[in-house]
Structure 1
Amino acid sequence: MTATIPVIDLAPALEGDREARLRVAREIDAACTKVGFFTIRGHGVPLAVIDRLREQASAFFNLPLDEKLRAQPDDASVPRGYRAIGFEALSYGNTIETPPDLKEYYHFGRPDWPDEPYYTSDQGQRFFVPNRWPERPEAFAEAAADYYRRVETLAEQLMALTALALGLDEDFFADKIDRHITAMRINFYPEQKEAPEPGQLRAGEHTDYGLLTILNGENKPGGLQVQIRDGEWIPVETAPDTFVVNIGDLLMRWTNDRWVSNVHRVVNPPASTASMSQRISIGFFHHPNYDALIESVAPPGEARYPPVLSGEYRDEKYRVTRN
């Protein structure tokens, strides 16, 4: 039987007592052990917040290219602002060489942060970078900031459930994510008016780098697929009011491979619809504090990975995937 992505209702955990949270945590553990992906509903993020950002993003990405390019960062190494097709090949992060991904994207981070050395020091400024916004549409920045804050709260709630699922204190991750370096990205997959090069996808095979990715997508041709443990590729479907959650590399290392950071990709639409198929996905890539030490929770002597600092791991992954 073909595997499917589990659907988990968070409402009982967010609205109920500890026993309700434990029940949902067990569902999360089962999903992350078997698949590494799950869909959530009852998450508390208003549909209007999601729709507003989608509308603003669609308006931006359908502007003329020369106007979009004005929202690029002045320094190509700065992970903020607009990126055109050809900038990134995600498969390089998993040592697979392919042509550049067939996507554009807009990259941004936290809307604001305290005036404290952790954020403003030379090291802090590598991770806490002012966002860059386009002149049009005017409400883009406000919609993005609202969405970010709502999903940031959701991420905190999910990490508390993650701790319970792993048999840890509910607040185990709290002091490791309270100054997180999470980035968001709005991916735009434009119509394909020319045939892709051999091996070229909308997004090549890759794993995500951090703790959890919280994704809002669209059920349109040329969508997300995940490779499960037996090697089978299965489609990932989402409704407009749900999120797909997947495990990142750092959480897999933390769990000592109890949970899997699965390879996934975004495939091209069928040739018959490629010239008409736009698609937008919005990803919140939850990443721990840059100085958080990621150490396996396995018993002494059983760790499969050496300890690694959160910020250093992210920097290396960025380095190898950018053209």
Structure 2
Amino acid sequence: MASIPTVDLRTWRTDGSPAAVDRALRTAGFLLVTGHGIAPDLRAAVRAQARVFFGLPEEAKRRYAVEVGERGWLGPGAEANGYAEGTETPPDLKESLSFAAEEPSGDPAVDAEWFLPNTWPAEAPLLRPLVADYLARMRRLSDDILGLLGAALGEGEDFFTRHTTHPTWGFNINWYPGAGTTGSPQPGQFRIGPHTDFGTVTVLDRQRGRGGLQVFTDEDGWQDAAYDPDALTVNIGDLMSFWTEGRWCSGRHRVLPPPVDEPAEELMSLVYFYECDPGTDVRGVDSHRYLREKLDAIKVG
């Protein structure tokens, strides 16, 4: 999609990227970013260890089963992202390992809801250190991206990061198995149904696939998302749209089901959802009450 620019984070201050970012976020709500410093080997290693877990028998994975918004395994049928926009879709065709912020803030009530310990599958012991490394890099990268967005908005690089001193975040390793595992899609069923994300920015490491990411714009409708193997995909969420009073649109997207002509295709995405400090008022919206309502909305059953 021509409306999704690629931004080199090493040079954005001097190459005119803030203006291009502003234009893109008014339409699609998506960017590609290079110069992000996340090594391909690390991303591949996280995927390899996650495959160890996803390849386990269901009874083994079930020991880690949780509901949406909790830390652990979201099995088949647990989530339907289309519910977030009020669409009654079938459940999403995916499994996820979900992690979230766990360093206590010191506020017992906040910590009990948003900063709980993560669950690490014993069957994939190398996953924890790899994910910890990846998440530390994602946190720094997300603040860099928020600096770019503050500049693009004309408000200064600390406009958003002043609200990320002790933020919440979520991290999903999404496994999209082939049709041999999921069965044939029901009408209106996707690997992830149409929705917008809920927080400030999402940083996505994805794989190219026929049953991959699509982005919606008013001008072009649904189109395959631009892809660059060296880039990460960034989209803004609802809180960012609120923050800009609708100047920027929360990026609407979906992930297609396994393709009919390539039913064995399987993909894995590393999805980092960056939010803000609990209690942040975003143009009159309580950030974390909003996040909790949205997470509750996409639970199946």
Normalising by structure 1, we get a TM-score of: 0.88
Counterpart position of 2:267? 279
Q: Which amino acid aligns with 1:264?
A: H
Q: C-alpha displacement at 1:27, in angstroms?
A: 2.4
Q: Does 1:136 align with 2:123?
A: yes
- Unaligned 5+ segments in structure 1 are 14-18, 296-306
Structure 1, 121-130 or 84-93: larger mean CA deviation: 121-130
The superposition leaves residues 199-252 of structure 1 with CA deviations (integer Å, 9 ceiling, x where unpaired) of: 111110100000111000000220000101225111114344321001100001
What SS does structure 2 have at the residue aligned with 1:8? strand
Counterpart position of 1:318? 295
Counterparts of 1:24 and 1:263, CA distance in 2:
22
Q: Which amino acid aligns with 1:313?
A: Y
Counterparts of 1:243 and 1:234, CA distance in 2:
18
- Unaligned 5+ segments in structure 2 are none
Counterparts of 2:11 and 2:16, CA distance in 1:
9
Q: Which amino acid aligns with 1:99?
A: P
Counterparts of 2:162 and 2:89, CA distance in 1:
38
Counterpart position of 1:102? 93
What SS does structure 2 have at the residue aligned with 1:157? helix
Counterpart position of 1:122? 109
C-alpha RMSD over aligned residues: 1.7
What SS does structure 2 have at the residue aligned with 1:269? coil
Contact 2:68 2:295 in 1 (8 A): no
1:51 to 40, 44, 47: 44
Counterpart position of 2:62? 69
What SS does structure 2 have at the residue aligned with 1:55? helix
Counterparts of 2:186 and 2:140, CA distance in 1:
40
Q: How many residues get paired? A: 298
Counterparts of 1:24 and 1:5, CA distance in 2:
12
Contact 2:73 2:98 in 1 (8 A): yes
- The runs of at least 4 aligned residues of structure 1 exceeding 6 Å deviation read none
Q: Which amino acid aligns with 1:241?
A: D
Counterparts of 2:2 and 2:143, CA distance in 1:
28
2:188 to 199, 202, 227: 199
Counterpart position of 1:298? none
What SS does structure 2 have at the residue aligned with 1:281? strand
Structure 1, 63-72 or 87-96: larger mean CA deviation: 63-72
